[in-house]
Amino acid sequence: MVLALVAAALFGAATPLSKMLLGTMNPFMLAGLLYLGAGISLAPKAIHGGIFRKLRTLNAKNYRYILGSMICGGIVGPVFLLLGLKMAKSASVSLWLNLELVATTLLGHFLFKDRATRASAAAAIGILGAAVLLSWEGGSTSIVGGLLVAAACLAWGFDNHFSALIDGLKAEESTFLKGVAAGMVNGAIGIAVAGGISLPLPSLAASLAIGAFSYGLSIVLYISAAQGLGASRAQLFFSSSPLFGLLLAALVLRESLSLAQGMALIIMALSYAFLFSERHEHRHMHESVKHTHWHRHDENHHLHQHPRISFLAALFGHSHEHVHEASQHAHIHVSDIHHRHSHE
């Protein structure tokens, strides 16, 4: 939960800060620089961890998840977001981003075995209603902007599940790959659209810095949370990012909060209350598996021993390759990386 909230704060700050940079470059160029910043910042740790050696040992399933994450989360999603941000107030865009929770919940239930309960379905409907309410603010321009942000959220909904299911790489390694690939593709498109590279040095440095924190570190923390909570539940906590975006938009861009935004916040708060109320328990089977993902040792799925572990790793979790023996039991659980089983 803590990891997802920190990730939300970092990502929420990106919306108003990116709005300030769109006047100096096109959306493709900015999207490319943001992800290049993420890739560059994570390169030392990923390369030191032997990412290129690990890539040669991955199975086809992990390759599909990595490719899907790159395309949906790194290339398609950011461009649609920045195009929408160019047409609408950053405060409204920050709230529209809650559609990512709706997309993640629906895709999880129908495609990725991330079960949606009645409570989560009611919450998704509430958040969708809040986003529709905001889309009417400001006339037709805001409607177009809302549709573009919705498209970005759908792409990121796919990315959330792809990223959460990658179990052959650490979170920082998969994020490094996404950052480099997305940065190169969107950057190349941005250069072609602009007819060349001509950027003020401060804008270039700011874009890379925002990318390092709001996309690099934020995505690493989110993936770690999603592997431990399930993509849909992690997205619940990550959905607090618009609150940080709204605050920053008001403080930095001097944007005022409207009545529609206030009503939308109330609807979203009630929706989150529904999501917190859900409980899911039944007997289920775990097959034997060997994989890599973020985990803690204060639950009954990770009982392996460590010769030495730091206090922070024990408190917040850590990531490494480990083995699970086959088991069958019943307990309250969410659709984390160990619980993507079918239900009757």
Q: Which residues in 37-99 belong to E strands, given as ranges?
A: none
* Interatomic CA distance for residues 98 and 101, integer angstroms: 6
- For residues 107 and 159, give the distance between their C-alpha atoms in angstroms, rounded to a whole number: 10
Same structural domain, 263 and 306: no
SS3 282: strand
**Is 165 in contact with 112 (CB distance < 8 Å)?**
yes
Residue 46 covered by a domain: yes
Domain that holds residue 293: 286-332
Rounded Cα distance between 190 and 41, Å, is 21
Segment 280-287 shows an average pLDDT of 67
DSSP helix/strand/coil, 28:
helix
User: What pLDDT, in 10s, does the model give residues 70-126?
Assistant: 999 988 998 898 888 888 877 677 678 778 888 888 898 888 877 777 777 787 788
Whether residues 295 and 189 fall in one domain: no
Residue 340, domain member (yes or no):
no
Question: What burial class does residue 54 get, using C-beta atoms within 10 Å of its C-beta: 0-12 exposed, 13-18 middle, 19+ buried?
Answer: middle
Same domain assignment for residues 185 and 207: yes
Residue 342 belongs to some domain of the structure: no
Tokens of 219: 């995505």
Residues 300 and 267 in one domain: no
Q: Which of 29-38, 305-314, 315-324 has the highest mean pLDDT?
A: 29-38
Q: Is residue 143 part of a domain?
A: yes
Q: Residue 337: inside a domain, yes or no?
A: no
CA–CA gap between residue 16 and residue 245 (Å, rounded): 6
User: Residue 117 and residue 101: Cα distance in Å, rounded?
Assistant: 14
- Please, what is the angle between helix 218-229 and helix 2-21, to 10°? 150
Greatest alpha-carbon pair distance for the chain in Å reads: 61
217 shares its domain with 126: yes
Does the pLDDT value for residue 338 go beyond 80? no
